[in-house]
Chains A and B, each alone.
Chain A
Amino acid sequence: MVLLFVVFFTSCFPWTTPHRPPKVWGYKPVYTADTAYRKIEYIAEAKPVDNAGKIYVKENLICQCETGKGIHIIDNSNPSNAHRIAFLSVKGAEEISIKGNLLYTNNYYDLVTIDISVPGKSYVVARNRNAFYAASTTQHTWETPDAPGYFECPQFYMDSVISGWVQDSIYYGCYKQ
């Protein structure tokens, strides 16, 4: 009888209800399973720099990340007239390294190896899935919204990436200053 009482009236005792964090207005990630992000494209014309990132130099080549979008290629064969000649479109790109004729960068979480030996062209030699994935962190540009405020902490799924953010009522999770 006592047991029944407890079972039926549990919800009447507020201290027995599970704690729910308050909801706040913030950003919620939008996930996509579309693999179109893997398309890597060499665009043989200079593009303006909007969100300048890391730089990398090798011989007559200077590379600069357009953070989250790709890599600007700068011809430095004449340092008195260095100029952008091309843009390598790589979604999510934040990092660059070059060894020999191969450029390594990140395409979201994937490590991609791109052959840049033929001027004016490039092709992907290899893709190592999720080499840049970092558990329970928000280290990458696409893992936080552009604007400051509360956001739902991103989840990691093997077959999808965050394609954007929408404003919504969310449970408090992460905060961007």
Chain B
Amino acid sequence: MLRYTCLIILIVAVNVTCSKESATNNNPSGNTGTGGSLARFTIVGNYLYIASGFQLNVFEVSKPAPAFKSSVPLAGNSETIFPYNDKLFIGSTTGMFVYSLSKPAEPKFLGQAVHVRSCDPVVANDSIAFITLRGNSACGPATDGLYIHNIKDILNPVLIKTIEMPTPHGLGLKDSLLYICQQENGLSIYNVKDPGNPVLRNTISNDYFNDVIIYNDLLICYVQSGIKLFDVNAPAEPRLLSTVMN
């Protein structure tokens, strides 16, 4: 499928990862979980946003039955959506759009991050975005690798570091460690405390890694053969807990 081959992505907010949110949220009914890297819809607070082709559909979900709020036309064919602080990043085939959620029922177009490749939604902590690009995607040619951007000015990301690596896919961030799925090339773990100078800490081979979710001290990996769960109390030394075979 087009959008799977067109892979890229992931980002994770250091200060606002969903897992931290849910871990500190005392109201169970307000809890949302954590998804992987290529979602087409997302929940932020009491609103659900669907990136549906050339439009962004907004539903209020404070009550059990979602209530349609608005439909915002998009300037490109959207593929992924990623919430980041009070903003939405929408990856499309013609660029990454940034919307403000200051009025959550009516997302407002802020601009387009032209230097970020079209189908590469990204985000990271407050100032750094980590993106994986693959050369053979529908987004056009690129060198396979990890691309690190300074996003202090969100509409003008500045590339600060590129690390070439084969077949990078989904990724996840836990504190200063970045977990990068590389399909048949395993899972790489980088220390990105100094984002301009990431240091490879560990590599787990022996499986085909597609995507990861970090949930508290659990690293949940979507691998070719099923789902693998690792304990990451020692973040650079994942310890296999169990495998759910397909």
- Interface residues, chain A, CB within 8 Å of chain B? 48-50, 52, 54-59, 61-62, 64, 74, 76, 79-84, 94-102, 104, 111, 113, 115, 125-126, 128, 131-139, 141, 144
- Separation of A97 and B51 alpha carbons in the complex (Å): 14
* B211-229 vs A, Cβ < 8 Å mask (1 yes, 0 no): 1010100101010001101
Residues of chain B at interface, number, CB under 8 A = 50
| Contact A134–B53 (Cβ < 8 Å) | yes
Is B87 an interface position by the 8 A CB rule? no
> How many inter-chain contacts with C-beta < 8 Å in the A-B complex?
152
If A97-B41, A104-B43 touch, does A134 touch B35 (CB 8 Å cutoff)? no
| Contact B65–A79 (Cβ < 8 Å) | no
Is B26 an interface position by the 8 A CB rule? no
| Contact B41–A56 (Cβ < 8 Å) | no
A-B interface, 10 closest residue pairs, ranked by CB to CB distance from nearest: A134-B53, A58-B33, A126-B65, A49-B246, A100-B29, A137-B53, A98-B33, A134-B52, A79-B241, A125-B64
Give chain A residues whose Cβ lies under 8 Å from the Cβ of B35. 54-57, 96-97
| Contact A132–B50 (Cβ < 8 Å) | yes
| Contact B227–A136 (Cβ < 8 Å) | no
- A58, A61, A83, A139: the one within 8 Å of B79 (CB): A139
- B55, B59, B215: the one within 8 Å of A111 (CB): B59
If A80-B241, A84-B244, A126-B66 touch, does A101 touch B29 (CB 8 Å cutoff)? yes
Give chain B residues whose Cβ lies under 8 Å from the Cβ of A132. 40-41, 50, 52
| Contact A55–B40 (Cβ < 8 Å) | no
Give chain A residues whose Cβ lies under 8 Å from the Cβ of B57. 131
| Contact A58–B64 (Cβ < 8 Å) | no
Give chain B residues whose Cβ lies under 8 Å from the Cβ of A113. 61, 64-66
Q: Give 6 CB contacts A-B under 8 Å.
A: A55-B211, A57-B215, A59-B22, A82-B242, A131-B57, A139-B79
* B53-69 vs A, Cβ < 8 Å mask (1 yes, 0 no): 11101010100111010
- B2, B48, B211, B229: the one within 8 Å of A79 (CB): B229
Give chain A residues whose Cβ lies under 8 Å from the Cβ of B131. none
- Separation of A85 and B29 alpha carbons in the complex (Å): 23
Query: A53 to chain B: closest CB distance in Å?
Result: 9
| Contact A79–B242 (Cβ < 8 Å) | yes
Closest to B65 in A: A126
